[in-house]
Structure 1
Amino acid sequence: MSCTKSGNGCTNGNGVDNNNEDDAVEISTETRYLDGTVRLRNPNIELMDQDILYHLALGSESHDLVEMFGDVKFVCMGGTPKRMFNFAEYIMKEIGHKLPTGTQLMDISQYSYRYSMYKVGPVLSISHGMGAPSIGILLHEVIKLMYHARCRDPVFFRIGTCGGIGLEGGTVIISDNAADGMMNKYYQVPVLGKLVKRPAKLDKKLVKELKALANPDDPYDTVTGTTMCADDFYEGQGRLDGAFCDYSEADKMEYLERLRSNGIRNIEMEATTFAALTHHAGIKAAIVCVALLDRMKGDQVCTPKEVLTEWQLRPQILVARYIKRYLQTKGRISLDGHGSMAVKSPRRFKLVQQESQTFE
């Protein structure tokens, strides 16, 4: 069964997913053309003179998006620009990508001052900011970018940090489900005054493939489990150290124990949005995070900076293993070239930059 038969995904009136959770993402004619390129679930886009991807400082007529991004297979997202620049440099070494002499990685979306985007051959490395609204905006525009660039069957990853639930700091968690703070496994958003609920589903086959790539020699554990997506860093995650706290430590521990008993292994702030929007677009997606602490033991991250820096590499290593293995099977492990800017219309190019810029 293809989960694309209704405007809100395969849900009943209560937003409950009726499909088998063990299914991988199934591709339907609503999300793919026959050649595998991305098809948008929005007929308005095809009628527009130009689609400006405002928060990326790109446009469908100002830039030659097929030339710039047509070979993209993997879209990797993480919270901060610095982390995703570091990932771009790391994946470049892992897949043997070579930049032309005298060039360096370029932030393609630098004129938006909102997100940072780096292209390394078939890999996009993009910062998504913090929280559901920020990653939601980015996903809308990146999914549209995949459409305009005619990318075939892209795979999305979120590479991040989180708080573990009964897991030690440094543990890598691959999300096999996503739930909100009420443990609902859907993402809801008000649309035209009505709450639209979309199932927050991740690709089960992709989860298994990632788990299989965990090396027994890795000096840390890699586990799978449900990820809770909070709308807030403090009260929404049951922390005791926010500006407000109207509950006791006993209340907090009771809540965390309830999460753990329901299979929730970690808490972050983007999972349901990421899972629901990629699933609604028919895009295979996975979330790989590293725990910075065990929330059962405290609220504040007190680990030394150099240790945190090493921990944050761990999800990148796992995702890089997947990408590298895929490219090796396709005979594409040595790649030359650079994701440089390709301008179709200089006038429109300048206008898009001006419209996307913000001034301090």
Structure 2
Amino acid sequence: MDSNRTEKNGENCEGSIYVNNPHLESMKEDILYHFNLGTASHDLPAMFGDVKFVCVGGSPWRMKSFIEYIAGELGLANPEAEYPNICEGTDRYAMYKIGPVLSVSHGMGIPSISIMLHELIKLLYHSRCSNVTVVRIGTSGGLGLQPGTVVVTKQSVDATFLPRLEQVVLGKSVVRSTELDAELAEELLQCGKELAEFETVIANTMCTLDFYEGQARLDGAFCSYTEEDKQKYLASAYAAGVRNIEMESSVFAAMCKLSNLRAAVVCVTLLDRQKGDQLTSPHEVLHGYQQRPQILVGHYIKKKLNLFKKK
């Protein structure tokens, strides 16, 4: 196992997946435990070597819905297809594939998506994939936006509005950049304009460690601040360019950047947090909102594959 094969003259080969772990080289087998896959038990290059687009999202049902949707958009749909869960045998994550598109669930919050990304990055690496684009699609709380607005993340910022991910490794603080691919974000914004079905904007996304107090909600089991405190904090976030709030974008951006993966975050807003904390829209309205990121990303994938065919 050559963990340096992505390097050439001391630099990453363009488009290759990069892992920076010398210990992988001495391993006889790499078991991707939470995917129920492994380098000895599965022919990963045969299974995943053609992957060019990976879409990740919180829930298994949403990612199965996305693979069914994209199969239809790419003309690969089969009325009798079951789209089996590749990770069957584990209850941690779900994975589906059609053509060059991989769809993977990541659960909720930084710890859950971090575990998934470690194994996804190694999966793509072991499969010898190249020029892969990874997009997180999901839902979020909005700031100053109409519910249903799709936000393409410009920068993922922490709860103090700084574009960074701070982790503790061996008892020491490690700070990593949360920079995302600006060109990819602009391409996705252009796709939104072409669709013209819903509002799409580029803005900063705040990634928090908690759904309740960490997002200044007033409806958790504990709350030590006032409505006025909440509004002041959200106004500060808005002034920092934040237009939506979620719980995964910082580690997603950081790990994709370290791995030489083009990455974007596309989330729909379900409500304006400056106007309330709880969802009051009917289920069918919320379901329609949740389909918007997959419609946008589906349009992008179709567009890119058509461009590939012309070359």
Give the TM-score range, shorter chain.
over 0.9
**Candidates 156, 161, 167, aligned match of 1:189:** 167
Q: 2:132, 2:11 → 1: CA distance? A: 12
Q: Structure 2 vs 1, CA of residues 167 and 38 (structure 1 numbering), >3 Å: closer, same or farther?
A: same
Structure 2 equivalent of residue 56 of structure 1: 35
Matched AA of 2:250: T
Paired residue for 2:150?
172
**Which residue number corresponds to residue 329 of structure 1?**
307
**1:227 to 2:205 alignment:** yes
- Relative contact order, CA 8 A, sep 6+: which one is greater? 1
Please state how far the C-alpha of 1:331 moved relative to its aligned partner: 2.0
* Residue in structure 1 matching 2:179, options 201, 219, 227: 201
Partner of 1:308: 286
RMSD of equivalent CA atoms: 1.7
2:61 is the alignment partner of 1:82: yes
Deviations 1:53-74 (A, max 9, x none): 0110000111000000000001
Paired residues for 1:282-301 under 5 Å: 282-301=260-279
The alpha-carbon deviation at position 33 of structure 1 amounts to 4.1
* Other-structure match for 2:18: 39
**Is the Cα contact below 8 Å between 2:18 and 2:258 reproduced in 1?**
no
- TM-score, scaled relative to structure 1: 0.81
- Sequence identity (%): 50
C-alpha contact 1:87 1:316 (8 A) present in aligned 2: yes
Q: Residues 192 and 198 of structure 2 are in contact (CA less than 8 Å); yes or no, is this contact kept in structure 1? A: no
| Length, aligned pairs only | 304
Displacement of 1:28: 7.0
Query: Could you list the runs of 4 or more consecutive aligned residues of structure 1 that deviate by over 6 angstroms after TM superposition?
Result: none
Q: Matched residues in 1 for 2:16 and 2:128: separation?
A: 5
In structure 2, C-alpha distance between the alignment counterparts of 1:160 and 1:148, rounded to whole Å: 27
**CA distance in structure 1 between the aligned counterparts of 2:249 and 2:265, rounded to whole angstroms:** 7
Q: Deviations over 1:102-157 (max 9, x none)?
A: 54201001211100000011111111100000000011100000100000121100
Residue in 2 aligned with 1:147? 125
SS at match of 2:192: coil
CA contact (8 A) 1:31 1:40 kept: no
Amino acid at match of 1:224: I
CA distance in 2, matches of 1:43, 1:72: 25
- Equivalent pair of 2:134/2:264 in contact (CA under 8 Å): yes
2:30 maps to amino acid:
D
- 1:91 equivalenced with 2:70 (yes/no): yes
Q: Which structure is higher in helix share?
A: 2
CA contact (8 A) 2:49 2:127 kept: yes
Contact 1:230 1:269 in 2 (8 A): yes
Residue matched to 2:252: 274
Shift of 1:201: 0.7
Structure 1: runs of 5 or more not aligned: 1-26, 333-360
